[in-house]
C-alpha cells in the first residue's frame, strides 16, 4: 500500500513563492521615442499606453511627414491626445483620414456642416448615456478602426473620458488563460446595447430597419493588431452577447472575468477635457468610458470615425439608412 501523503506546513521559501505567484508582474519595454519620432514631440502618459502629441498645427493641411508619425504614435500608444486648438469640420475630417478611410459612423446624428461628422450633444433634455466600457461598432462585420473626437463645449466640471489598453490587459493574463482564449470567437450585436432605446425614440420603423440591416456578427475573442502585432482582448460589456461554442454559464463567467479584468487601473488612462481638446484612439486596441457625472450641464462631442476600406459597408451613412422610410411625425 502506498504511504499516504501527510500535510506539511509551507517553508518560508514556498510561502514567498506562493505570494509572488498571486500577482503576475506587468512588464514592458519602453518605446524608443528618439528613434521613432523626428517631427512630433511624444510624451507617454502611461507605460506604452496613451500619449500627448505636440507639433501638429490643425489650422493648415497636415504634411506627409506628420501624417506618418501620427500613425506610428497611434500604433505605439493606442490613444493619443492633442492640445486644445480650434479645428474646422474640414480639418477634423482630414485628421481622421490620416489613419484610414473616413467612415459614415454609427447611429448618432450628423453635423449640419458635414455628413461625416457625428454630434453627441448632452444637456438637460438629453442626458449622457455612454457611461459604460465599450469598443465602438463591434456589431459590424468590419468595425471602425478608430475615432477622432473634439469636445467643443465642456461642462464646468466632470465629463471626463477613460480608456483602457486591451493589449496590456491581454499581456497581463496567465499563459493558461491566454491559450484558452486564443481559439475562441464571440457574437456581437447592437441589440444588446442602449442603441435599442435610442432608435426606439425615432419610431418602430427605425428600430426594425436597423434589425434588418445589421445582424449579429462574430469576432475573435483575441484580435491580433495588424500594425503593432499586439494581441488585444476583443470583447466588451455593451455589444458582446456571448462566447461561441460555450455553455451559456461558462460564456457568462468568462465574459464577466474579462470585462472586470479590463478595468484594472494599470491598463487605464483617465482624461480630463479642456475645451477644444482632441483625442484619437485605436478601436482595435482600446475600450473607453464617458463619465456621466455632469448632468444637467451641457457637453458637445464632435467625432469622425475612420474604418477598414475592405468593409462592404464603407461609406454607408448608418444613421440615414435606419431613418429611411421613418414617419416624420415619430
Residues marked active site are found at 134, 136, 288, 303
DSSP code for 213: H
Per the DSSP assignment, residues forming a β-bridge with 303 are: 118, 149
| Burial of residue 301, with CB atoms counted within 10 A of its CB: 0-12 exposed, 13-18 middle, 19 or more buried | buried
Exposure b/e, 197-232, CB count within 10 A at least 16 = b:
ebbeebbebbbebbeeebeebebbbbbebeebebbb
Q: Which residue reads 505567484 in cell numbers? A: 21
C-alpha cell at 6: 501527510
Helix ranges, 23-108 (H): 33-36, 64-77, 89-97
Q: Would you say 145 and 307 are in contact if contact means Cβ atoms under 8 Å apart? A: yes
Amino acid at each position: 500500500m502506498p504511504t499516504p501523503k501527510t500535510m506539511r506546513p509551507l517553508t518560508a521559501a514556498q510561502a514567498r513563492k506562493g505570494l509572488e505567484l498571486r500577482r503576475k508582474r506587468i512588464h514592458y519595454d519602453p518605446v524608443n521615442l528618439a528613434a521613432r519620432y523626428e517631427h512630433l514631440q511624444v510624451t507617454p502618459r502611461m507605460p506604452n499606453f496613451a500619449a500627448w502629441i505636440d507639433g501638429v498645427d490643425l489650422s493648415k493641411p497636415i504634411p506627409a511627414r506628420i501624417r506618418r508619425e501620427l500613425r506610428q504614435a497611434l500604433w505605439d500608444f493606442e490613444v493619443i491626445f492633442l492640445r486644445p486648438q480650434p479645428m474646422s469640420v474640414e480639418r477634423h475630417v482630414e485628421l481622421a483620414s490620416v489613419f484610414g478611410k473616413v467612415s459614415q459612423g454609427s447611429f448618432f446624428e450628423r453635423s449640419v456642416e458635414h455628413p461625416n461628422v457625428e454630434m453627441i450633444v448632452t444637456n438637460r433634455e438629453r442626458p449622457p448615456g455612454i457611461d459604460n466600457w465599450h469598443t465602438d461598432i463591434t456589431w459590424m462585420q468590419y468595425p471602425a478602426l478608430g475615432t477622432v473626437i473634439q469636445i467643443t463645449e465642456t461642462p464646468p466640471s466632470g465629463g471626463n473620458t477613460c480608456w483602457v489598453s486591451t493589449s496590456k490587459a491581454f499581456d497581463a493574463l496567465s499563459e493558461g488563460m491566454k491559450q484558452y482564449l486564443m481559439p475562441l470567437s464571440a457574437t456581437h450585436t447592437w441589440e444588446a446595447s442602449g442603441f435599442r432605446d435610442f432608435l426606439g425614440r425615432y419610431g418602430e420603423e427605425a428600430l426594425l430597419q436597423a434589425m434588418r440591416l445589421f445582424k449579429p456578427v462574430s469576432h475573435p475573442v483575441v484580435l491580433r493588431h495588424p500594425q503593432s502585432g499586439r494581441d488585444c482582448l476583443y470583447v466588451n460589456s455593451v455589444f458582446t452577447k456571448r462566447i461561441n461554442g460555450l455553455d451559456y454559464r461558462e460564456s457568462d463567467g468568462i465574459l464577466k472575468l474579462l470585462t472586470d479584468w479590463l478595468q484594472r487601473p494599470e491598463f487605464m488612462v483617465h482624461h480630463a477635457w479642456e475645451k477644444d481638446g482632441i483625442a484619437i484612439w485605436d478601436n482595435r486596441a482600446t475600450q473607453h468610458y464617458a463619465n456621466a457625472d455632469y448632468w444637467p450641464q451641457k457637453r458637445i462631442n464632435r467625432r469622425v470615425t475612420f474604418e477598414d476600406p475592405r468593409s462592404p459597408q464603407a461609406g454607408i451613412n448608418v444613421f440615414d439608412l435606419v431613418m429611411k422610410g421613418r414617419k416624420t411625425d415619430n
